Amino acid sequence: MKDDLTAIILAAGKGTRMKSKRAKVLHRVNGWPILRYVLRATTELALSEFLVVVGDGAQAVRKEFSEWPVEFIEQREQLGTGHAVSQAYGHVSGDFLLIVPGDLPLLTSQVLSRLISHHNEQGADLAVLSMVPAIPAAYGRLKRDASGHPVKIVEERDATDEELDIVEVNSGIYCVRNDEFLWLALRSLDAGNAQGEYYLTDLVEHYHCAGKHVTAIKATDPQQVMGVNSRSELAVADRSMRLRKARELMAGGVTIVDPESTYIELDVVIGSDTVILPGTHLSGGTTVGSNCRLGPETWIDASKVEDDVGIRYSVIESARVRTGTTIGPYSHLRRGADVGPVARIGNFVEVKAARLRRGVKAGHLTYLGDSDVGENVNIGAGTITCNYDGKAKHRTVIKDGAFIGSNTSIVAPVTIGERAIIGAGSTITEDVPSGALALGRARQVNKHKKEEVE
């Protein structure tokens, strides 16, 4: 059946309760836009076709997901979910449609597969995925007849007190035959309701009254089909996704001391026996090796951290930390930093677009930018590479075994040879030969006060 099934993802809503200029489906849950989770769940099913209905913020949504194998259809007027689905007329090739809201970040492909299988097994014309949440709140109530067959979905704003007592509600996910009856039913929807919109939920009553086979199956975990319509719900979804990722990592041998205060995005990979301390943020496809210790209060984005690394109270972005290296506290590795193996970057050290090789030590109060630093170089406190002349960046080369004294300024472009020594307090503007001692500072002069004449 999946070969004949088209997914229609509804991503046109304004998200009024979000109170945002950004499209609702672009708000992020654990680092990813909400819509990305829905696209992942549906594309994992390997269906024949994927359509995304966009409206509010359409251009931004198209740009964000331009590389996904989907076709975008624009709903120029947001007149409701029924109207949104009707915009797909003429674009659909599958014999069946899987209709999914674009604001379900906790959705999994297993949930969708279960609905599709139920629809197929029942030979239904329309199948609804329902749920029984702890608090039905603003969800549409699913009404059944005495035989248990779905007859109607009543939106919360239009429900009577008796209908509001119904605990089974609509998830917004449907599987339906792609036939002429569907499109006629969509065109016949009535907007005479509290919101003045064409509700997709009204299809249930249309199909029931026409004698069509309508069925519903309950989601086993209501949280997986929880919609996000407010900032509060966004926070709930974010927490759930973070804890889901944490459980996955812990099952794979990672120690997370306090999952509630740890923030790890879904595409982050961490090796076994690594310990993650509270306040740590890992994002942007970061990979972490085995037997590392990260945190507390550490932020690592789009970086590669190899085995046996320790990083605490530091920021690492688009950088590489090689095996056996220690970083922090209060270090900053910026884009292009590549440190180690077995290096030591300490207090208030910043590294940018620089390769620091095996055994390099930069313990405190140092800036190393646009530099190539050889093995076993010792960088004294207060050292800076002056890499920018106001117009262009220049590189500094420090070769193996060099010793850079404290409070040194190295004005690039310059090369410091192997085992060279730079005296503390120097300003280096010329190349230093291997093994040489370089002093680039003014000679000290002590002046005494003249003795007072009595």
Measure the CA dihedral 55/59/63/65, to 10°: 10
Rounded to whole angstroms, how far apart are CA atoms 57 and 232?
Answer: 21
Rounded to whole angstroms, how far apart are CA atoms 407 and 66?
Answer: 50
Q: How many other CB atoms are found less than 10 A from the CB of residue 377?
A: 25
Q: Is 364 a catalytic residue?
A: yes
CB 222 within 8 A of CB 212: no
**Burial per residue of 2-26, b for 16 or more beta-carbon CB atoms within 10 angstroms, e otherwise:** eeebbbbbbbbbebeebeeeebbbb
Looking at 332, 364, 394, 448, which residue is catalytic? Answer: 364
324 dihedral zone (left: phi>0; alpha: psi -120 to 50; beta)? left
Q: How many other CB atoms are found less than 10 A from the CB of residue 423?
A: 17
CB 253 within 8 A of CB 275: no
Rounded to whole angstroms, how far apart are CA atoms 6 and 329?
Answer: 52
CB 295 within 8 A of CB 315: no
Q: Over the Cα atoms of the chain, what is R_g?
A: 31
What SS3 class is residue 234?
Answer: helix
Structure tokens at 370: 């646009």
- Beta-bridged to residue 437, according to DSSP, are 421
Burial of 63 from C-beta contacts in 10 A (0-12 / 13-18 / 19+): exposed
What positions carry a catalytic annotation? 364
